[in-house]
Each structure stands twice: as C-alpha cells, then as structure tokens.
Chains A and B, each alone.
Chain A
C-alpha cells in the first residue's frame, strides 16, 4: 500500500494501521526523518482563500465537501491535508473564478480521476439499482405490510375480539 506517501496527512486512516513501527534504530531514524519532512510538506486543509463573497465561500465549501480526496480516500476534498487535495482545491477555486459551474468543475475532476471522486454517485445505467433500490424495497415492504394489515383486519371483523385490552394494567390500554 502506498502508505508512507500518504500516511502523514491522512488523519483519519486506520485505528492502528499507519503508525510506523520502530523495529530498528536505523529504520527508526529514517522514519522520523521522513515524517519530519512530511510534516513540512504537510499541506493543510485550512487554507484561507480570497473569496469575493460569503456566497462564494459557501459554494466552495459545499462543492469540496461533495468530492473525495483521491489520496486520503476517507476524507473529503474540503477536509483532507494531502498535497493533491490542496492542489485540487486551488484548481477548483481558480475555475470558480473563471466562472465555471459546479457541473463543469465536477466533470473536470471526473475526467481525470473517474467517478470515484464524486461522493454523489451519478445516475447511470450501473447505479439505477442504487438509486431506485430503496424505493423498490419500500414498495415491496409496504405491500407486505398492507397484506398483513388486511389479513388481520378481516379476522378482527370476524372474531370481534377487539374490545379486550391487556388486563395487566387494570383496563389501561397501555
């Protein structure tokens, strides 16, 4: 796994996975040295940008929150400290300044990094099951529930045993 290249910036990676193991003095020195270097290179998700308006800042925040960082794949582009995330945020900012729409910016990224970079799966032939699956399950389940209610209703009308409540609480229907 390309762990070390990304491990320093990827804050949320792994409960125990990426802590380097000091298993030899030389390796240990090397790893510490590398990580120091990495922390200098440590791009930050906190990056003041010269937004022209609050609305623009909001749009930027919302857009980058919908995109996945290709390096630290558990984080959004808004939150990631990876160098590529910083580069992509700058790129997005520039494109916003150039007047590109959200769709165009997303297309730009998808063309280079595939659909994987979108947290919002586009509706395509392959994702029809994803987007409409819950609806189908709901309809199926609703059908089952309706049938159950109908069946119970019918026996209820027939058997007239509706008035007896649970006797445990002195006639309390609870």
Chain B
C-alpha cells in the first residue's frame, strides 16, 4: 500500500473540502439549490478520502513499513500490534490525521442526521465544517505530512515513547479529540445562525444533543487522561494543571456553560447572544489547545515537536476562524434581548450565575496558563504558575456553584417562590452538617475531607429530594425524561467527584521506604511485605519485577508486582502496581536497588494509600453519562417537519437579505 496514495487521498480530500466549504455558502447566499446540494456529497467524498488516508497510515504501521519516516520514528519490530495502531496518533503528524478523521466522522453524522433541517441552514452548517476541514487538511499537507519517506529504509524503527504504551494512552486521544472536534458542530450551528440572521428560532434545539454528546466525550477523554497519568506516570498524581491539561479543561468549562445556556435559550428563547458566543468560545478553546501543544510556546508535558513554521500556520488558522467568527458575532449577533423575561428568583438566574462562575474559571485557567508568556513578553523574567495558583482559585470559584446546585431544579422558570427552597436548604443543609460532624471523627478532623463529605451529602440529598419530588408529583412514564435523568446523574457526579478530590487530597499517605526482602511496612492499617525482586520480560521490554504482599490484619488483600522496565532503546519506565478498590487504592512504585550489583537484595520503594481516589473518575464518568443521557431525550428526536413553503419563504428572504 503505497504511502504516496495516502498523500494523494489527502489532496483529494482537501479539494472536496474546499467545495464543501465554499459552494454551499454561496448557494445559501444566492438561493441556489444546486450549490447548496453540493454540501452532503462533498462531505461524504471528503470523508471517504480521509478514511483512506487514515487507513493507509494504519496499514503502514501494522505492516512495519519503515520506509515511511513517521512509522520508523514511532514503532519498531517488537512493538505489539495494538500499540502499533495506537502509535498512529502517538506523535504530531498522525494525531492531526486523527483530528481530521474524527472531524469527518462528526460531519458525516451531521450530514446523515440533519435531513430534517431547513436546507439553507443545513448547507451553511456543513459548509462551516468544510472550511474547518480545509484548514486542517492544508496544515497536514503543507507542514505535517505523515507519509513522508525515509530512504534508505532502516531495518528497524525507533520506538513509541514507553509512557504511551498503555491502554489508557491508546484510548485517551481518540476520545478526547471526539470531544474537542465535537464542539465544532455547535460552532457551525452558531455561525450558520449568525449568517442566516437566525430565521430559524429552533436552531438551538437542534444543536443541543450534538453539544451534549461532544461535552460528554470530552469529559470521558479528560477522565481517561487523568487516570492514565495516575497509573502510568508513577507518582500517584491525577491532575497537574499542566498547560495541556488546562488546554482540555478550558473548553470543558466553557462547554459546560454552553450546555446550560443552550437549555435556557431553547426553553425560554432568552440569552441567545450568550449561547452563540459561548459556542464560539468553546470551539476556539479547542483550537487553542491544538495550537498550544504544537507551537512550543509553553513548557509542557505534551510538547509535540515545536516548529515555528507550524506555530505560525496554526496561529493564522486560529486568527481567521476565531477572529472571523467573533467579527461576525459583533456584526450579526441578536441585538434585541429576545425571549421570555425572568425575575431575580428564578432558574434563569442561577444558571446565569453558574455560567458566570464557569466562564470566570475558564478565564482564570487561561490567565494562569498564559501568564508565563506574558512574563516573557514584558521582560519580567520567567514566571511559573502551577497547582498552588490553580488549585487555590478553582475551588474558590466553584464554591458558589456547589452551594447553589441543589436549588437549580427546584427553581421555576421566570419566577419562583421561596418556601420550597427553604425546605431544600433545611433538609440538605442539616443532612450535610450532620454527616460532616460524624465524618470529623473518622478523618481525624481534616478540614478538606470533612468539606468533601459535606459537599457529597449536600449535593446528593439535593438530587434525591428533587428525584423524590418528581416521583410524587408526576404520573408514571413522565417522571424522569431523559434530559432530566441526565441532569440528575451529572449533578450527582459532581458530588462524587468533589468528595473524591477532597478526601484523597487530604487523607492520602505517601512513604518512601527502604526494604529488604521479608520486611514489612505498615501504612494506614495495611501491611506491605516486600518479597524481593526478580527479572521478567515482555514483548519489547525486560524488567525488574518486585513482589509486594499486602495484608490487612490476617486477611490477604493482594500481591502487587511493581516493575522497572527497560525498553529496547534503553528507556527506563517505572510501572507502578495499583491495587484498586472502590474506597481506596494501594499503590506501590519500585525505586532503586540499594546495591546495584545485587538486585535480589534491598530496594527503595514508594508506598501509597489513596482513599476515595476512584471517586474522582467515577464522578467524572457520572457526569459523562449524564451528558449522553441528556442527548438521548426523545424531544430532540421528534421530527420537525419543515413545510416546503417555509423553505421557499426563507429562500426568498435570504435572497433579499
């Protein structure tokens, strides 16, 4: 399978993307149905060629085609087949190909499921997706071609970075990208709405399920990345506020605000301008993330090969897409505040407050992430912004959200009365305080752990109270529409997440110890007995493997096997052993032998006890489930029949606009 065919496929895809991007927009502007009708076939064609290109690269990896430089750099003869496939997106060029592949998946889905949308609107949406594709395809073809040859062909390749040789790392980029790229759909909807002057008031209802699904994927991707960092990077951390983590967190926060704003706009018709602006920001931050990891502008974990030429290209693309859309917003955003009004005590208000906090949090993360760059620009020396900054301000900003969350569902649209709220406050509040007092005895008075328990109870009881109210008041079958069930799941997930974070951060125990075979260390009620180290091998590594037997009292908890692997090219990787549990993780990392000549002797080890750490990802997964459940609501799938006369009217209006 000649790699050059892959390059050809990409070029053809670019041409089709150009057609998809430009022609339907002209068609929509001019009322030319033939041009508008180009959108779907062009999108399908582009998808086919991108899929071919992607397939060719996968083939090259699976069949050890080291004449392709990218394959030679990222795999070798001993790399197992599943990691060879993952290696496709293990470095810059391939990950961009993955990006455009996923963009095409979303576009095809959009093309397929938008048959009921008015033609003018749908063609604009698909055209915007096409223009985005043009940018990425051009970037790949002109600066980041994964199909470049390496001649003479080497006998064996380099290696995929060992930290990437892990199931979590295989899963994390595709899922994360599905989220990032998915925000392009909400973006495309908003641009189409701006271009068309929002003649179709229902466009937000169409955008909602797409946005919810994208956000859910992003949530899953972030959770996967965090879990992988914990399992693979060896030091028990799950979030480092590293620039690239922040680059995925900012669109997540803005996407969260967007989901809630869309709900308001769909049901009440208000806050339309905010919804449009938030969807532009969400996608812009996705693109910004792409820029940050590839331009080398920030010191980070994920620094892909940083090349100023690539940086300039992406920056130009970013300027055109985001600058253009913000300019369009300035010119065409609804100027008259439409939709239904609301008083201070209303659901709209708390949603606005929540959205304000999410937006400020995203701005804070942006500020902290970019501040080192500002420091360089203003010649203030190199400034470092890390967890002490983000970890202090973020919980502070989220505190109002956590406090207001139980009230949200109980408040009515437009105007609400206070008695029910007082009831919620009392019940959830007393439950939270009572549990906090009890918890204080179990957690040695640690304030953060107590706060974690209190938050969980506060939020959990709030969710339970509302679920009970629906059970009592609504007839069977209409108690929990999917959208509401999703909301309850997600809000519960917030409580689980907060509890996990606060408890693990305050009650974790870490200890570096020197142990000879047979010695036991006692940590948090568990006994870790070190049973020595022996050698073992894997497909492309050999390792020193330790055996650690964990008991609690007289019960055997498990036998753990931490490893220090040496890969083919000499890279050394610590594979920690994790004994996972619902309420605690036990974690062992192998250090160094005390005597390098005698690996059967004593070693240094790091032992961790991490309570409730799985609740962090469990909470995240609940939020993800909530997002997917919401999107499945029947209401979004009810067919909206658009009369052909309406289309004619629209076309006439469009032509005269």
- Direct touching of A and B (C-beta under 8 Å): yes
**Which A residues have a C-beta under 8 Å from some C-beta of B?**
8, 11-23, 31-32, 35-36, 38-40, 42, 44-49, 57, 61, 65-66, 68, 73-74, 78-79, 114-121, 126-127, 129-131, 133-134, 137-138, 141-142, 145, 148-149, 151-153, 155-157, 159, 161-163, 165-166, 168-170, 172-174
Q: Mark B380-408, 1 if CB is under 8 A from A, else 0.
A: 11111111110001000100000000000
A124's closest neighbor in chain B, by CB?
B380
B360–A137 CB distance below 8 A:
yes
In this complex, the member of B304, B343, B375, B570 whose beta carbon has the largest number of chain A beta carbons within 10 angstroms is B570
A118–B340 CB distance below 8 A:
no
B356 within 8 A of partner (CB): yes
24 A-B pairs with C-beta separation under 8 A = A14-B304, A15-B302, A16-B91, A19-B159, A22-B154, A35-B571, A46-B589, A46-B590, A49-B512, A57-B511, A74-B300, A129-B367, A133-B367, A134-B393, A134-B397, A142-B356, A152-B342, A157-B343, A162-B341, A162-B343, A165-B413, A169-B481, A172-B478, A174-B483
In the assembled complex, the CB of A112 is this many whole angstroms from the nearest CB of chain B, namely 14
A11–B341 CB distance below 8 A:
no
On whether A16 and B92 interact (CB within 8 A), knowing A120-B386, A134-B367, the answer reads yes
Q: Which residues of A contact B596 (CB under 8 A)?
A: 40
On whether A149 and B371 interact (CB within 8 A), knowing A20-B569, A46-B606, A174-B481, the answer reads no
Known: A46-B605, A48-B513, A129-B374. 13 other contacts (CB 8 A): A15-B91, A16-B92, A19-B161, A38-B570, A131-B389, A134-B364, A134-B393, A142-B356, A153-B344, A156-B414, A156-B415, A162-B415, A166-B267
From A32, A48, A161, A173, give the contact of B514 (CB < 8 A).
A48
From A48, A130, A161, A174, give the contact of B385 (CB < 8 A).
A130
B242 within 8 A of partner (CB): yes
Q: Which residues of B contact A127 (CB under 8 A)?
A: 371, 383
Docked complex Cα distance between A159 and B360 (Å): 32
B303–A130 CB distance below 8 A:
no
B415–A47 CB distance below 8 A:
no
On whether A130 and B371 interact (CB within 8 A), knowing A152-B337, A162-B343, the answer reads yes
B312 within 8 A of partner (CB): no
B526 within 8 A of partner (CB): no
B618 within 8 A of partner (CB): no
On whether A14 and B413 interact (CB within 8 A), knowing A126-B378, A134-B393, the answer reads no
B299 within 8 A of partner (CB): yes
A36–B360 CB distance below 8 A:
no
On whether A73 and B299 interact (CB within 8 A), knowing A39-B570, A172-B478, the answer reads yes
On whether A126 and B380 interact (CB within 8 A), knowing A145-B356, A173-B413, the answer reads yes
Docked complex Cα distance between A115 and B376 (Å): 13
Chain B contact-residue range equals 35 or more
In the assembled complex, the CB of B567 is this many whole angstroms from the nearest CB of chain A, namely 9
A126–B73 CB distance below 8 A:
no
A19–B341 CB distance below 8 A:
no
A14–B161 CB distance below 8 A:
yes
Q: Which residues of A contact B414 (CB under 8 A)?
A: 156, 162-163, 165
B510 within 8 A of partner (CB): yes
In the assembled complex, the CB of A75 is this many whole angstroms from the nearest CB of chain B, namely 9
Docked complex Cα distance between A155 and B341 (Å): 6
B430 within 8 A of partner (CB): no
Q: Which residues of B contact A114 (CB under 8 A)?
A: 381-382
Docked complex Cα distance between A145 and B359 (Å): 12
From B74, B381, B514, give the contact of A16 (CB < 8 A).
B74
A38's closest neighbor in chain B, by CB?
B570
A115–B154 CB distance below 8 A:
no
Docked complex Cα distance between A14 and B242 (Å): 13
